[in-house]
Chains A and B, each alone.
Chain A
Amino acid sequence: MSSHRRHFLDKSLYYLFSLDGNLEYGREDIGFVSGGVRINAHSVPRDSRAYSVVGETRVFGEKLVAGTMVWGGDWAFAREDDIELLDVKALIRTDDNAVVEVEYGGVLAAGPRSFRQVISEKPKFGSEQNPLDATFYVAPRFNSGDPRYAWLNGRQCLGFGRVKFIESLAKQATVDFWMMD
């Protein structure tokens, strides 16, 4: 058998846009399910924003997404092994009136014994003065019927985000989306 590769395949990451979600609007505690706790969190309609942190508006000549998240939710599953699985769907209406679908799964690993701390709330983590930032990683895909954003449809992307906890509740999430090429 031939020897394996000694080099990485070519890869590039291109910044797409960032998304801030305000999660205060709706929290639905489903409760204990097999293996953990199910929680549905919904963003505040029209109070969450897609934008560029670097001011760029195009990548490869294509228009980047900037607009308002009009609908979004995370059907999250906090597992007993201290890993939270994210299951997010969201809709962005861009400033130029297109609709872009956002869909991703991901992982938030808050560390050892975090599940116990989440469900016991002893002690509660994060405060107004000192929120707790937890990191999450996601693998989004985007979809749009609008020709101006159709270039996104075939792209697998990555996202690096932070969620802010206050009094043990997720209040705000922010994520940077990157396109793989």
Chain B
Amino acid sequence: MKTISRRNVLGTAAVGAAAATLPARPARAAGKSLTIGVCSDFSGTYSDVGGNTSVACVQQALEDFGAANKGYDVTIIKGDHQNKPDIGAGLARQWFDSGVDLLIDVPNSAVGLAIAGVAAEKNKAYINSNAATSKLTGSACNAQTIHWTYDTYMLSHSTGGAMVANGGKSWFFITANYAFGQLLRDQTEAVVKGAGGTVVGDVDYPFPQTTDFSSFLVQAQSSGAQVLGLANAGKDTVNSIKQAHQFGITQSGMKIAGLLIFINDVHGIGLDIAQGLVLTESFYWNMNDQTRAFTKRLLPKTPNNYPSMGQAGCYSGALHFMKAVDAIGVPAASSGAAVVEQMKKMPTDDDAFGKRYVREDGRFMCPSYLFQVKKPGESSISWDYYTLLHTTPAEKTFAPLATEGCPLVKA
């Protein structure tokens, strides 16, 4: 008879926990089985713009593709990178080793860049939909990585360019002091200066432990700049905008350029404070009949959170991945480079982004939209927050191929 000791129980529990993180893997030869891993922030600053809504978007992509009807057996697993590059890279390595065919989402530029390296090393497909850094298609680009949805070049040129064009010539930046914030600030600064504007001041605040922005806001106010540029994201942006309102910054005529604002942030800030903000997204659920139809199908899976551009990008990316796998067959798709090459050959077509394509450096090419946040009275239905001001075509939205320094692109 086997006695149950504490050690036995602990041992069994440990094996059980390890098994739970590994995808169940029926023999590949027997059927068309695939595993998609959603690596995101499920508990921190960026969990509302990625997290479970991203998982729901991948599920939606499988349904719209008709995976089950076409005989595919697709498992979705999810993992929390906790905004730490080492945890994200470790998770990616473990997933790829245990047979994950596609890793998707990954908000946070530092984590996003770390995983790009792992994907190349393991030759597995990686779609980043939620990190901003344009280095993913620049110096850090590789044959396994596609950067979907948006990047710092798009944000700085669209929002920054529009603010300068409307007379906002002098800028003061409040910057999250890490890879993403600095890059976004530098690129926006270049846009502002290129258009004849000036930068009168800049504060780099410690990330991620800052919640009180009041002293930076008072410095911005006393600088006399016309535009306050926020080179941050997520909860930090929400806090800075709310506090700017408390200090009467917007009321005194200073304009706020939120360089990365998602619809989920606008929801958190509330229209009474967010009204009038100018921002850039490449997807808005209430844009046209297709986007509304997509959102209507998706909402039962994520009733309290409408999709932002990054989450919609997970839908669009996963759908396109499935089409590419279908074209080259499951065995060939175990090579990340092969399936990504196929994704670059085929045009994309989905309800969220329409008919687009993936450029040779791994850049998903879509237009960007400059939006203004509506006044409370103008919003008729829930999450009806944006008015479209301007559309930038895809070729102008992202950096020209030649200027990026991506090693994949031949001169």
Chains A and B bind each other: no
